[in-house]
Every structure is written in C-alpha cells, then in structure tokens.
Amino acid sequence: MAESNNKYEQPVSRRHFLKNTGLVLGGLVVGGVAGSLLRRPEAPQQPGAAPAPAADYNQALMYFSPEQFKVVEAACERIFPEDELGPGAKALGAAYFIDHQLAGDWGFNAREYMQGPFYPGEATQGYQGRLKRREIFDIGIQELNNYSQSTYGKRFYEITPEQQDAVLKAFETDEVKLTAVSASAFFKMLRASTIEGIYADPLYGGNKNMDGWRLKNFPGNQMTYTQVIEQDKFVKMEPLSLRDHQH
C-alpha cells in the first residue's frame, strides 16, 4: 500500500486544501464538517514498522451458511471474473458484501412497502412479491445447486467455469422455472449486488483494499477536484476510502 502510494501524486492535504479554497471566508472557517476537518496532520508511518499480516477478524459470515457462501462466491466470480485486467469478484470480497447486506435492513426489505394485499402486477408496476431479498437468495442459491446437480451431477461450485456460465445463463433467460420468484429476477439481483460488492466503499466488506476502484481508476472519497475538473488530461490518483476520511 505505502509503496503504491508513491506512484501517484499525494492527494491535497485537508489543511492545505481548506486554506486554499473558498471554505475559509474572511478568515473564519465555515462551520460543520469542514471546520471539524481542521485537525493536526497525522504523523507519518515509520518505514519498516508494518506488522506481519494477521487474520482478518472483521471478516466472517453473518447470514449465509458456508454452503450458500460457496455457491454465491462462485457465481459472483463468473459475473466478474479475475483476468489479466485484475482481480475478480471473489478476490474483491463481493460474496462477503452480499452476505452482510442480506443480514441487515436490505435483506429484510425494511424500508420498503411489504404490506398486502399481494397481486401479480404488470411489469411496469415493479416487484409485487411477498418474499424478502434474503428469502429470494435462499431459493435462488438452492436452485443453482439443484440445477447443477440435475444437469452435471455436481453442486454449482464443483462444476467447471464454463458449466457455471451455462447454469447462470439458464437463470438469466428464465430457462429455469422457479416458483414464487423468477430465475431471471434472482439473477438480476445477484448481478446487481455483485457490482455493488465490487465498487461500494470497503467498509461494507467488498472492494477489498479499494482494488475494485483501482480497476476503474475511480479515486473513491476525495475532498475536492477543483484542481482536476478543468484538465484535458486524465488524472489518475490513488483512491481514498471513508476510513481515510475518519482518521
């Protein structure tokens, strides 16, 4: 990390940036967030002081069973595979992201209207089912395994990548028939949450080490682009996360 930092221009320090922008009005710092950012800069890290990498105790399953996790992780990796361009969904932790999301509000559809009566609607009226996202994932994962078993005699994460693609395609096109939810609706949710797991701030458990952002040259959480916004040349910078913002 520290090494790769040197390849890029250091981002503008907050203190320097606040002094040189409109944020300081007539000698007074504007209140709120900006004001609270005027803190002493952190001491630079001592070279060679980094400890050996330890186990990541922040990473464990909140919702999936280990079996479910293996299926989801394998499926995510086919949606966004590792290749010569860089890491895929597995290395980026997208399956952990999905697990954590399903454990919370999103998995329970907590901020969505889930009262009856339930009627099948027109496509233009949106989702009208009574299943919550975590239930849709439970069904979808089970059926990925069932379909793999009946077609290839093995579970989803045991078949070849090409076979996995064929299974996912069968879900995407509704060749697989499920009850209560369509295979394509499950696939769409799986795809969308995989993308989220690749690119959401690392605080959610995916986008490991901000490597998802690096794939796209997305700089993450920067305070200002006033120096960049008018430039004709593409400006590549080392990303910052929300964690960087807090410390």
The only residue of 1, 2, 7, 32 in contact with other proteins, by rule CB under 8 A: 32
Instruction: Give the shortest CB-156-to-other proteins separation in angstroms.
Output: 16
The only residue of 38, 62, 110, 180 in contact with other proteins, by rule CB under 8 A: 110
Interaction of residue 74 with other proteins, rule CB under 8 A: no
d(CA 219, CA 14): 16
The only residue of 68, 73, 74, 80 in contact with other proteins, by rule CB under 8 A: 80
Identity of the residue, 163 or 221, whose beta carbon is nearer to other proteins in the bound complex: 221
Instruction: Give the shortest CB-212-to-other proteins separation in angstroms.
Output: 7
Instruction: Give the shortest CB-143-to-other proteins separation in angstroms.
Output: 18
- The pair of structure tokens assigned to 239 is 């990303």
| Residues 39-58 interacting with other proteins (rule: CB under 8 A) | none
- The pair of structure tokens assigned to 23 is 């944020």
Interaction of residue 242 with other proteins, rule CB under 8 A: yes
Q: Do residues 176 and 144 lie in contact, with contact meaning Cβ atoms separated by under 8 Å? A: no
Q: Do residues 211 and 82 lie in contact, with contact meaning Cβ atoms separated by under 8 Å? A: no
Neighbours of 79 (CB within 10 A): 20
| Residues 210-239 interacting with other proteins (rule: CB under 8 A) | 212-213, 215-226, 228-232, 234-235
d(CA 66, CA 74): 12
Distances, alpha carbon 68 to alpha carbons 55, 73, 198, in Å: 22, 9, 19
The only residue of 146, 195, 209, 211 in contact with other proteins, by rule CB under 8 A: 195
Q: Residue 36's closest CA among 200, 202, 226, 223? A: 223
| Residues 113-172 interacting with other proteins (rule: CB under 8 A) | 113-115, 117, 119, 121-128, 165, 168, 172
